[in-house]
Structure 1
Amino acid sequence: MRLKRKGIAKAARAGFAAGYASGQRDGACDSISQHIQLPAPKKLNVCVLYIPQGFEAIDTGIVEALRQTVREVHVADPSIMAEQASFIRPDWMLVLNGLHVFPNNHLEQVDAVRALGIRTAIWFADDPYVTADTVHIAPRYDVVLTHELSTVELYRELGCQQVIYMPLAVHPQWFKPMKVEAKYRSDICFIGQAFWNRVELFDAIAPYLQGRKVFIAGGLWDRLRTYKQLKPFIRHGWLPVEESIRYYNGAKIVINMHRTTEAGKDNKNSLNLPGRSINPRTFEIAACGTLQLTDEREDLASYFRPGIELETFTSPSELVAKMNYYLTHEDQRRQIALSGLRRALADHSFVQRLHTVAEVLKW
């Protein structure tokens, strides 16, 4: 009976500590969100026809930002973009990515839109992983925006007249701090496809993950050599965006590992261009107010301060060492997460990014 009472008391203390830490985090996140009030953007006298890719979080973020940035916004399915452009006669047609769900006559439609005197811009969000396709798409547009540094010179060499490096951003009305149920809580979280470099990483850290509360979601995770060992942590298949946001919020640490760029390994990067730029997930995790441990990309320090607003790793052993440290140093973990949240809200929303797009396109 005495041992049982001790066990109950210990569990109660642990629950109180967890609740206290969660309350501290929630209060601090609320304070940051309330204090970062950016001025309302002045609407520009421009009409934009936006063509979505089907990347729900990115498309929604861009559309909402456009509604705050320009006079008039229309959204059309890729299959009828030329028809809609002819009907609406926008000043610009802005296309996201131009891949996957776009019809076979995509480029002929772009030609038809340009023939109407309507300016066209494409914003590539999958570079450099599909350059076998984008090299045919880019020259058909007036302006090429790419979130990847390594493809800027490529498109210029193809004869594209205006090529602009333009990072993506976050939709903070979706990706934001929130209270979540216990089922979403974890020590360590990773959400994404099991590309081969990610498989190698998780095989290497599998011994460390044992005995911890881990959540992994995505496809192809049966590639793991340690699959049987990690299987209890894995949720197979696509995870809805709203669920990803809850899992980010419930995690103590979220790992962000960029996919491999090696030609032939889960991509169509036929030119074997390196990955120099950060992915959208970098902004999204930060906006949830959770500590992010990310592998390094060349432009990372332009958007977040490593060691202050997020943490980085260059090897499995460094990742393990940093996870171990931050799982046992709550204050430091929370401080970096809150600093990352503050930076994401202040500098990296889609509203702010569309201001930059508007400037370079001279809207």
Structure 2
Amino acid sequence: MPKSLAAGPRRSAVSDAYGRGRNAGMHAGYDEGYFRGKSQGIVNRVVYTPPVRDIHVLFVSSGKGFPYSPIDEAIIGTLHGMVRQVSLTDAKQDVAAEASRTRPDLVLVLDGMYLPVEQMDAVRAMDIRTAVWMTDDPYYTDMTVDWIHHYDYVFTLELNCVAHYQNLGCSQVHYLPFAAFPVHYRPIAMPGAAKRDIGFVGTAYPKRIQFFEPIMDQLMAHRTFINGNWWEKFPGYGRFNNQIEINKWMGPAETADVYNSAKIVINLHRAVDDDEINQNSGHIPAASPNPRTFEISACGTLQLCDERSDLARFYTPGVEIDTYRSQGELLEKVEYYLANDHLRKEIAHRALERTYQEHTYAHRLNTLFSVIFP
């Protein structure tokens, strides 16, 4: 056959393939642009404006640095729009002296682990209200026994610790989970992280390694990326070293970038019976969602979260979030949502809207102030 005749069909086939690829790419780009545009529309439409109270708050940050500092930033940034005056110090400073000098209406402490109880006793002796917002319940409850009753008000992010602190003699104990800080966690029009099907951000605690080990090959068959400390302990880690970034605490900007770049983000809570790293000898069970639950949802990304009994108070499973109880169920839902893109995006948008309506730090601090200044 003459070369000219043979080349024609080949060029035609290449041209057809190019056209199909171009059309598919344009369609995918349009869908992604529409999805991200709708996410931004939700953020612009759902705006919560908390009441501004005529009070002065002295906020005592944890003094622990990262990863607690982003929570400090979230609370401080939110407080400035909610009260008349905000004064700042940290747990390593002379808090009582600062309270004596500034005479706030409330001394609000984050964590409280490093703050000497004598400091809070001195503040209370000045007839100034004191409150602590616990950051790590129930994982370090053995360490809080000796100092938790030195506050007027105790706020815990774990529902099952309310009765625990009441039994220790605390009269004012309230359930107050953490939330999303929209300055840190929000939809990003063009995330910088590489596109991924599945993302996971978190430390490789022993129980997490045990959970992921039997299914890691199946997860990594997709564009799955893991970020966090200690993942070099994962058996056979070297096989996935291009998909696992180790020994790095990720700040809010990087974390939000990862959440925004993924189709699905897995949330696997820390285990309460990881005895080699926890200090929870009473094995107080965990019922409440972790801060990541709200942060992932605030980025407008579908979240697959391991079941916790109080999760449905915040998001409706199957509607605004989805859950799993086993490795097999997690894999089934990963495959299902990767194959059902429209449903994945619908659930992600509903979670985003619910988060901005109910689960920001402004909502939480308004609840806190309503308890202390009824």
Alignment-derived partner of residue 92 in structure 1: 106
Offset of 1:76 from its aligned partner?
0.7
Secondary structure of the residue that 1:184 maps to in structure 2? Answer: coil
Is 1:49–2:58 an aligned residue pair?
Answer: yes
Contact 1:58 1:170 in 2 (8 A): no
Give the % identical residues: 39
Alignment-derived partner of residue 72 in structure 1: 85
Counterparts in 2 of 1:223 and 1:11: CA distance versus 1, 3 Å: farther
Contact 2:70 2:251 in 1 (8 A): no
Offset of 1:249 from its aligned partner?
0.4
Counterparts in 2 of 1:176 and 1:293: CA distance versus 1, 3 Å: same
Offset of 1:9 from its aligned partner?
5.1
Secondary structure of the residue that 1:203 maps to in structure 2? Answer: helix
Map Cα deviations across residues 117-140 of structure 1 (whole Å, 9 max, x no partner).
211110101000011111122111
Secondary structure of the residue that 2:87 maps to in structure 1? Answer: strand
Alignment-derived partner of residue 279 in structure 1: 290
Map Cα deviations across residues 252-308 of structure 1 (whole Å, 9 max, x no partner).
000000001115232111221111111010000000000000001111000000000
* Distance in 2 of aligned mates of 1:4 and 1:238: 47
* Distance in 1 of aligned mates of 2:343 and 2:276: 37
Counterparts in 2 of 1:346 and 1:136: CA distance versus 1, 3 Å: same
- CA RMSD in angstroms comes to 1.8
Is 1:340–2:351 an aligned residue pair?
Answer: yes
Offset of 1:116 from its aligned partner?
1.7
- Among residues 139, 150, 155, which one is paired with 1:145 in the alignment? 155
Offset of 1:210 from its aligned partner?
3.2
Aligned residues: 358
Contact 2:193 2:257 in 1 (8 A): no
Kindly report which structure 2 residues correspond to 1:89-128, keeping only aligned pairs within 5 A, or say none. Answer: 89-99=103-113, 102=114, 106-128=116-138
Indicate the structure (1 or 2) with the bigger Cα radius of gyration. 2
Is 1:252–2:263 an aligned residue pair?
Answer: yes
* Distance in 2 of aligned mates of 1:170 and 1:355: 14
Alignment-derived partner of residue 349 in structure 1: 360
Contact 2:307 2:324 in 1 (8 A): yes
* Distance in 1 of aligned mates of 2:230 and 2:14: 43
User: In terms of mean alpha carbon deviation, does 223-232 or 26-35 score higher?
Assistant: 223-232
* Distance in 2 of aligned mates of 1:309 and 1:146: 24
Counterparts in 2 of 1:321 and 1:180: CA distance versus 1, 3 Å: same
Secondary structure of the residue that 1:281 maps to in structure 2? Answer: helix
Kindly report which structure 2 residues correspond to 1:149-188, keeping only aligned pairs within 5 A, or say none. Answer: 149-181=159-191, 183-188=193-198
Letter in 1 for 2:278: N
Alignment-derived partner of residue 272 in structure 2: 261
Is 1:288–2:299 an aligned residue pair?
Answer: yes
* Distance in 2 of aligned mates of 1:305 and 1:360: 26
Secondary structure of the residue that 2:183 maps to in structure 1? Answer: coil
Q: Which runs of 5+ in 2 are unaligned?
A: 1-9
Kindly report which structure 2 residues correspond to 1:178-257, keeping only aligned pairs within 5 A, or say none. Answer: 178-181=188-191, 183-236=193-246, 237-257=248-268
Alignment-derived partner of residue 335 in structure 2: 324
Offset of 1:13 from its aligned partner?
4.5
* Distance in 2 of aligned mates of 1:107 and 1:140: 6
Letter in 2 for 1:52: S
Contact 2:130 2:153 in 1 (8 A): yes
* Distance in 2 of aligned mates of 1:163 and 1:276: 16
Offset of 1:43 from its aligned partner?
1.6
Letter in 2 for 1:116: M
Letter in 1 for 2:100: S
What TM-score do the two structures reach when normalised by structure 2? Answer: 0.91
Letter in 1 for 2:358: D
Q: Which runs of 5+ in 1 are unaligned?
A: none
* Distance in 2 of aligned mates of 1:45 and 1:214: 49
What TM-score do the two structures reach when normalised by structure 1? Answer: 0.93
* Distance in 2 of aligned mates of 1:280 and 1:259: 12
Secondary structure of the residue that 1:112 maps to in structure 2? Answer: helix
* Distance in 2 of aligned mates of 1:261 and 1:10: 52
